């Protein structure tokens, strides 16, 4: 009888461990299981999105308020069109701005919103017109190295 109790306890630990691993995999994979609420969609155009990916966080003041729904390319301007799903409980003025930021030096990229001052809010299907593209660290480093090489050889 005592062996059955031990087997049951070991079984519970195994199930708990598997659940913990599943939750960790979902967290690392940036997958949301439970819907945090209803959302509305807005778009923002960027010249360069860096390594921004669908499901990346959308934040304001460091607080996650939505996710990147999809990323497409405008066939006329060749700019990246980023669709953001924002929780309905967060309303933003029409003149809000969006920028692509990086978490830490080499972390994941996300969209950061800065509220504007307009009395009218963005609606479902609205567009954020003020955007700042991603800062690409590799481009900055290569420009710096090219600049330094030009100074070293006497060219300006």
Least confident of 24-28, 79-83, 150-154: 150-154
User: pLDDT at position 34, please?
Assistant: 42
Provide mean pLDDT across the span 7-22: 84
Which of the two residues, 28 and 136, has the higher pLDDT score? Answer: 136
H or E segment and range at residue 15: helix 2-28
Percent of the chain with pLDDT over 70: 85
């Amino acid at each position: 009888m005592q062996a059955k109790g031990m087997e049951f306890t070991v079984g519970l630990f195994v199930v708990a461990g598997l659940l913990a691993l599943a939750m960790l995999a979902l967290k690392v994979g940036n997958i949301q299981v439970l819907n945090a609420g209803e959302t509305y969609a807005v778009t923002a155009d960027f010249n360069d999105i860096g390594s921004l990916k669908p499901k990346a966080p959308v934040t304001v003041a460091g607080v996650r308020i939505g996710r990147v729904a999809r990323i497409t390319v405008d066939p006329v301007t060749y700019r990246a069109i980023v669709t953001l799903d924002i929780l309905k409980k967060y309303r933003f003025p029409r003149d809000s701005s969006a920028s692509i930021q990086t978490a830490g030096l080499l972390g994941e990229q996300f969209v950061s919103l800065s509220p504007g001052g307009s009395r009218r809010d963005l609606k479902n299907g609205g567009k954020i017109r003020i955007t700042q593209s991603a800062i690409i660290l590799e481009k900055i480093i290569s420009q710096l190295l090219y600049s330094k090489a030009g100074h070293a050889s006497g060219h300006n």
